[in-house]
Amino acid sequence: MPVLFFAVLGSLAVLVGLKKIVDANATASWPTTTATMLAAEVGKASGANTYYWVADLSYRYMVGGTTYKSGLYSATGQPGFFLQRTAQRIVDQHQPGTHAVVAYPSSDPSRGILAPGVQPVLIGALRILAMGLVMLYFAWKFAKGT
C-alpha cells in the first residue's frame, strides 16, 4: 500500500511541477501593455502551520478599449516568500502611481500578470518537483523491499 500511495502522489507532484513550468513559460510570449499601479503592500498569508510573505498588488490596464484590474504577480498568481524583504522588494518596485509592463493572454486579457516567464515561479515549481521525485524514490525503495 505505501508503494502505491507514494507512486501516485509522487507522480501527481511531478506532473503539477512540470505543468507550472510549462504554463509559466507560455506567459513569456503574451502581448504586453502598460499598467498603472493602484496599491502595493507587504502582507502575510498562512499555510502549513506557518506564514509567508506576499506582495499584495493592485493595478489597472487597458486592452482594446476595455479597462481591467488585476493583482496577479506571476503565472502562479500571488507567490509567497519566506523572507519579508523579498516581498518588500517587489512592493518597492510597484508603488502606487508608477507604471509597469503587464503581460496578458490574448484569449483573456483580464488575467494580466506583472512577471511573465519561468523565473518568478521556478523555485516553487522545483520544490514541488523535488517532493514528487522523493516520493517516487520511496515508492521504488518500498517496491524493491529495501
Range among 10-24, 55-69, 105-119 with highest mean pLDDT value:
55-69
Mean pLDDT, to the nearest integer, of 40-59?
A: 82
- Our separate counts of H helices and E strands in the chain read 3, 5
- Tell me the mean pLDDT in the region 90-105: 95
Torsion of CA 99, 105, 107, 109, to 10 degrees: -20
DSSP bridge partners of 35: 61, 100
Residue 50 pLDDT > 80: no
Does 86 lie in the same domain as 36? yes
The parent domain of residue 58 ranges over: 30-116
Indicate if the alpha-carbon torsion angle 68, 72, 77, 78 is positive or negative: negative
Residues 43 and 73 in one domain: yes
- pLDDT at residue 146 in the model: 61
Distance CA 54, CA 33 (A): 24
User: Does the pTM exceed 0.75?
Assistant: no
59 and 83, same domain (yes or no): yes
The reply to whether 99 and 109 lie within a common domain is yes
- Judge whether residue 70 has pLDDT over 60: yes
Q: In the structure grid, which three cell numbers stand for residue 17, read together?
A: 511541477
Share above pLDDT 90 across residues of the chain, in percent, rounded to a whole number: 38
Same domain, 34 and 83: yes
131 pLDDT tier (thresholds 50, 70, 90): confident
When pLDDT is cut at 50, 70 and 90, the band that residue 124 belongs to is: low
Number of structural domains found in the chain: 2
d(CA 119, CA 102): 16
Mean of per-residue pLDDT scores for the chain: 84
Q: Which amino acid is at 17?
A: G
